[in-house]
Chain A
Amino acid sequence: MINLNFKHLIIMLAMILPACTFGQTVYEGQVINAETEEGLMYATVTLLKTKHATSSNYQGYFRLIADYTMTNDTIVVSHVGFKTFRLPVTGYQPNIFIKLEPTSSQLAEVTVGATKVKKAVIEKFNHSDVKDLRGRAFYPTYPYNIVGSFAKEFEAPVAGTLLSVIHLGRRAAYDIPFSLMDFPRTSSNKLTRFLLHVMTHDSLSGAPVKRLFTKVVTLNDNALRITFDLTKERIVLPDKKFFIAIEWLLTPINEIVQLDIGEKVAGVKKDNSTSFEEGSRYRIIYQPILVILPQWNGSSWQPRLSKVPIWNSKDGLKWTQVVNAYDVALSATLTY
């Protein structure tokens, strides 16, 4: 038997401590099914050495807060029916997407019924389009300082389709502490609430007209790709063309604070002259921050222009088409 004394313990501690980082660390991201690209609920996310663990929510989103971290630790993501995924903490990137491959033992889907149901995804976008772009010079967001409503036009293959799923790219706001040039310094707020509308298309003006469906959406996480399953709502689209609109709400829950540097009055001297000094200027902006899809032009990332009409409205009634509008990460899945 090994006889350990105090000296040995000190040496052991000295060997262990450099691998330990004290202070809380946050690991967050989305676990998705590599085959279907949908979020995976109830995936278990564990730090192998420190045994901190959590599970993913309905969007596949997880947030693991560790009181301390071992620099040689590993993030392990597992789910029944999927291959386990391992990632060294040194390879973690903020708001990471983790794709889990289904195991071969998974049962194939069974089609019930005589009629074959067709599925079409309009304006599809991928996880790579909305993933965290920190570190890149290009950081697309929409609408940032605009308040009101935004609508994107969609065209179904046929009239009378059922709108079953909407996907939306959302940019999370962060507080950036160090050394990131040209990056907004914003408060971090994972809460947001907004209205999601499905609207009809006016064949004469091309503008959004009537609301077919409205849903109040409240998000409580930093998931970048949001899935709205509308199957139960039975939203039948009367025409081929329709709109999906987002309406911003000017409520305190949506507030994000962005820092700017301004000039402030430092004081008034005895001779009544005013002096100035550098001061903080906060700008209040409202969530959600939507993602503009990027494109690589050979030398840098640039915002992609939308191929379909984009409309804006300040009051939700009078709509204006945006000239040279950017392409927003918003897609519709239709069944017919």
Chain B
Amino acid sequence: MKTFITCLLTVITLSVNAQQNMNTFYVVDSLTRKPLPSVTIAIVRAALSITTEKDGLFSIPGDLSTMRDTVVIYTQNYNSVKMPLANLQGIDTIKLEKMDMIAGSKLVFKNDTLLNDYNRFDVGNFAGLHMGNGEFKYLQIAQRFEAPKAVTVLKDVTIERLAFYLNKSKPGVINGQTEYSELEHTRFKLRVYDVNPVTGGPGKDLCDKVIEIKSRDDKKLATNLKRYNIVIPNKTFFIAIEWMRDYTNQGYVHINDKRGGVKGHTNYRPAIGLIPIKGEKLNIWVLNLNQQWGLYTYHSPDFTDLAVKATVGY
């Protein structure tokens, strides 16, 4: 995988024209000049996005000066960069400035509360696969939580994901039966946000460290967050899944349309479970390619909450 250059073209179309210009860029930290891994590059109007590998390298094919679109480049703990795509012409390095984060002081909490509990055997519907006949074009999905009081600490998070058994290492039929012994792999980032007092949606990042979750053997993803010391200042907060739109997570979805045809498009793992109990309020938010949070309505009104539960200490 390291020999490949992360290229937006691979998710746009398979028809690569060998004669096209390939514009290659590095995304680096503005101070250290070191490459930044897992940076998301989103092209807004074309509704395309991809996550870079460890080398912070990405490519856009074609003549940039003729492209009339907007590019958004962002990663956790850095100020995002938004500019016309044509402005990338003539540059090869994109510098991201690190945000100033205030580290939370170590607090001691005696009581625990489990929020948004569910039974995993009831989870049968999933967000992150598609939107009707169209592609799922969001970068993050967040569940809203209401803690019993202000100033709590986030201790752990459990997420239910969609995953099937595969066996890529031993394809074929063994003893007359196909062996499926391995779950689909996935990796993603976990984000924790304060409430935005204006929109009621996710606001400021509450964790200054990158929490990357990898899974290859479970649908239930339980993560202990005590070592991150994430202090939740208000009662309302959000836990989000940030998809890493890379090759590991890439798959395809086929949907039958009303006329009997089949539509296919790309999707990225993991799809996140939904709790099959309708709550009073829709608590699911999504971040679009333009870096704007909005309510997630595709599964509404039957589903109001993600199968994401969290324990807070207070």
- Give the interface of A toward B (CB within 8 A): 24, 26, 63, 65, 145-148, 173, 175, 177-181, 185, 187-191, 220, 250-253, 255-257, 259-262, 264-270, 272, 274-275, 278-286, 314
**Contact of A264 with B125 in the complex, beta carbons under 8 Å:** no
Q: Chain A: which residue is nearest B3 at the CB level?
A: A269
The interface centre, meaning the residue of A26, A181, A187 with most chain B CB atoms within 10 A of its CB, is: A187
- Which residues of the partner chain B approach A283 to less than 8 Å between Cβ atoms? 253-255
**Contact of A257 with B129 in the complex, beta carbons under 8 Å:** yes
Q: Per a CB cutoff under 8 Å, which of B125, B171, B180, B251 touches A177?
A: B180
- Which residues of the partner chain B approach A260 to less than 8 Å between Cβ atoms? 254
Q: Chain B: which residue is nearest A271 at the CB level?
A: B18
Q: Chain B: which residue is nearest A25 at the CB level?
A: B121
Report if A265-B14 is in contact (Cβ < 8 Å); known contacts: A252-B125, A282-B254, A284-B255: yes
Name the distance in Å between B310's Cβ and chain A's nearest Cβ: 20
Name the distance in Å between A274's Cβ and chain B's nearest Cβ: 6
Report if A26-B121 is in contact (Cβ < 8 Å); known contacts: A179-B177, A181-B176: yes
**Contact of B252 with A284 in the complex, beta carbons under 8 Å:** no
| Number of A-B residue pairs having CB atoms within 8 Å of each other in the complex | 144
**Contact of A267 with B4 in the complex, beta carbons under 8 Å:** yes
**Majority DSSP secondary structure for residues of A touching B:** strand
The interface centre, meaning the residue of B11, B124, B173, B258 with most chain A CB atoms within 10 A of its CB, is: B124
Q: Per a CB cutoff under 8 Å, which of B173, B247, B276, B303 touches A181?
A: B173
CA distance A180 to B5 in the complex (A): 39
Size of chain B's interface in residues, with CB distance under 8 A? 55
**Contact of A280 with B176 in the complex, beta carbons under 8 Å:** no
Q: Chain B: which residue is nearest A28 at the CB level?
A: B121
**Contact of B121 with A178 in the complex, beta carbons under 8 Å:** no
13 contacts between A and B (CB under 8 A): A63-B121, A146-B256, A178-B181, A181-B176, A189-B124, A190-B124, A191-B124, A267-B247, A269-B4, A274-B10, A281-B254, A283-B254, A284-B256
The B1-38 residues at the A interface (CB cut-off 8 A) are 1, 3-5, 7, 9-11, 14, 16, 18, 22
**Contact of B124 with A145 in the complex, beta carbons under 8 Å:** no
